[in-house]
């Protein structure tokens, strides 16, 4: 069967009007139609930019507006806007997508099938047009669903690009055999560029907000330190509470070393069953596990899924209690140090498998440095008190 996949080299008749302009009235009509299309495109572009400006950080509203305008101007039956995480595409906006196919798209992220439009975009195609999706052979389940459940025939896909990297894609579908015109493809590419602008604005806004939150939290901890000279309990509470809030975790604890034991000095959100276990089974560094790795000098310990760790598989009581009683799945632990001395640690937990970002790890290390400084002062004060009875 004839392969109908076309990329930027496509030069279909859709790019030309095919009108006969042999008489003045035909020329006038053609010019008026062209002017109306240009005005509609300019108006749509202005409206999308208005949504971007009025909804900073609200990508859902921007994506919906882009799809609405793009599908209308390109005379497409339905469409999808995708984001790309480096491995899979995520359908973040859908417009007029038939119910059966919509369920397929929203069920799970889409890993591009070899030879698919998305795969070709990742390989560098500036756009991909499929004249007749039903005429393709050796297609995967998603593309088969596109035809059988979505009724798609002609397909166009353009990438969302930033510095040559694919951030996502816009896909538009017609349920009849009618290639998209060159001007319509260019229009979708323009909308894709606007989507990238919105994504970049949202990223910068998020980074600015996170930086401000971190600065505020650090200032608040310093204020507690200054207002509580010699009393480090409120300081430890403040450090843990703010670290947990900024990292979006379920529960956490700050411990200090007390001989061979780890003694909690601040605890938040600990599930009752796990708290009861720790009450009767104080945590010990042991020869392995998170505390042992911290004692061994690691700057932090990040376990993405505690159930996949050998300690859990082998039935370690502490690890089993952490997961089975506390519901912990992802965890991050950072040490409290003064110079080279280990004073304790902060450990935070998520009850779902969700890795901590590099920024969150750096944030935790900053809070741990504040906690280590306070605990170092506390230890020094105790040594002075012992030497001057």
Helix 182-227 with 358-387: angle, nearest 10 deg: 10
CA atoms within 13 A on the CB side of 129: 23
* Residue 202 near residue 53, CB atoms below 8 Å: no
Q: For residue 51, what pLDDT band results from cuts at 50, 70 and 90?
A: low
Domain pair 5-204 / 228-387, same fold: yes
Q: How far apart are CA 135 and CA 115, in angstroms?
A: 14
Question: For position 384, what pLDDT does the model report?
Answer: 33
Q: So where are the chain's domains?
A: 5-204, 228-387
CA atoms within 13 A on the CB side of 48: 28
pLDDT tens for residues 271-323?
999 999 988 887 765 567 888 888 888 999 999 999 998 999 999 998 999 99
Task: Annotate 91-126 with b (16+ C-beta within 10 A) or e (fewer).
Answer: bbbbbebbeebbebbeeeebebbeebbbebbbeebe
Provide φ and ψ at 151, rounded to 5°: 70, 20
| Parallel/antiparallel/unpaired status of strands 301-303 and 89-95 | unpaired
Q: What is the average pLDDT value for the chain, to the nearest integer?
A: 83
Task: Identify the CA nearest to 252 among candidates 261, 260, 226, 243.
Answer: 243
pLDDT tens for residues 216-272?
888 888 888 788 776 778 888 999 999 999 999 989 999 888 776 778 889 999 999
Looking at per-residue pLDDT, the higher value among 282 and 38 belongs to: 282
* DSSP class per residue in 107-123: HS-BPPPTTSHHHHHHT
Which residues make Cβ contacts (< 8 Å) with residue 45, sequence separation at least 6?
A: 69, 190, 191, 194
Task: Identify the CA nearest to 48 among candidates 68, 34, 24.
Answer: 68
Q: For residue 57, what is the DSSP state?
A: T
Q: How far apart are CA 177 and CA 204, in angstroms?
A: 42
Question: For position 340, what pLDDT does the model report?
Answer: 78
Q: How far apart are CA 61 and CA 198, in angstroms?
A: 10
Residue ranges of alpha helices (H) inside 228-340 are 233-247, 272-280, 290-295, 310-313, 317-320
Question: For position 230, what pLDDT does the model report?
Answer: 67
* Residue 81 near residue 170, CB atoms below 8 Å: yes
pLDDT tens for residues 320-349?
999 999 999 999 999 998 877 888 899 999
Q: For residue 321, what is the DSSP state?
A: I
Question: For position 82, what pLDDT does the model report?
Answer: 97
Q: For residue 179, what is the DSSP state?
A: P
Looking at CATH, the fold of the domain delimited by 228-387 is given as: Beta-Lactamase (3.30.450)
pLDDT for 386 beyond 50: no
Task: Identify the CA nearest to 299 among candidates 372, 196, 353, 239.
Answer: 372
* Residue 126 near residue 159, CB atoms below 8 Å: yes
**Architecture of the domain delimited by 5-204:** 2-Layer Sandwich (3.30)
Which residues make Cβ contacts (< 8 Å) with residue 249, sequence separation at least 6?
A: 348, 349, 350
- pLDDT above 70 coverage of the chain, percent: 80
For residue 277, the cross-strand partners are none
- Identify which of 78-82, 108-112, 207-211 has the greatest average pLDDT: 78-82
For residue 338, the cross-strand partners are 341
Q: For residue 355, what is the DSSP state?
A: P
């Amino acid at each position: 069967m004839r392969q109908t996949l076309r990329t930027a080299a496509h030069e279909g008749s859709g790019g030309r009007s095919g009108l006969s302009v042999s008489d003045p009235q035909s020329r006038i009509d053609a010019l008026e139609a062209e002017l109306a299309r240009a005005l509609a495109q300019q108006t749509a572009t202005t409206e999308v930019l208005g949504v971007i400006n009025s909804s900073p950080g609200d990508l859902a509203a921007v994506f919906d507006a882009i799809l609405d305008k793009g599908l209308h101007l390109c005379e497409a039956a339905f469409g999808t806007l995708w984001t790309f995480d480096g491995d899979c595409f995520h359908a973040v906006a859908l417009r007029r997508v038939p119910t059966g196919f919509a369920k397929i798209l929203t069920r799970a992220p889409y890993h591009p099938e070899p030879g698919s439009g998305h795969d070709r975009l990742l390989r560098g195609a500036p756009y991909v047009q499929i004249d007749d999706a039903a005429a393709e052979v050796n297609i995967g389940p998603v593309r088969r669903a596109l035809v059988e459940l979505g009724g798609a025939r002609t397909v166009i896909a353009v990438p969302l690009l930033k510095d040559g990297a694919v951030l996502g894609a816009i896909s538009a579908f017609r349920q009849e055999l009618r290639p998209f015109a060159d001007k319509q493809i260019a229009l979708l590419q323009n909308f894709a560029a606007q989507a990238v602008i919105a994504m970049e604005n949202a990223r910068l806004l998020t980074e600015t907000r996170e930086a401000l939150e971190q600065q505020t939290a650090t200032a608040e901890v310093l204020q507690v330190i200054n207002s509580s000279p010699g009393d480090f309990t409120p300081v430890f509470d403040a450090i843990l509470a703010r670290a947990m809030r900024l990292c979006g975790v379920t529960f956490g604890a700050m411990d200090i070393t007390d001989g061979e034991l780890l003694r909690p000095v601040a605890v938040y959100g600990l599930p009752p069953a796990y708290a009861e276990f720790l009450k009767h089974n104080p945590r010990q560094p042991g020869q392995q596990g998170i505390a042992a790795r911290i004692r061994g000098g690691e700057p932090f310990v990040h376990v993405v899924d505690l159930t996949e760790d050998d300690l859990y598989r082998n039935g370690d009581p502490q690890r089993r209690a952490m997961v089975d009683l506390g519901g912990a799945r992802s965890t991050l632990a950072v040490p409290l140090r003064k110079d080279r001395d280990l004073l304790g640690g902060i450990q935070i937990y998520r009850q779902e498998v969700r890795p901590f970002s590099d920024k969150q790890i750096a944030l935790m290390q900053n809070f741990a440095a504040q906690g280590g400084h306070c605990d170092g002062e506390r230890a020094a004060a105790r040594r002075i008190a012992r030497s001057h009875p």
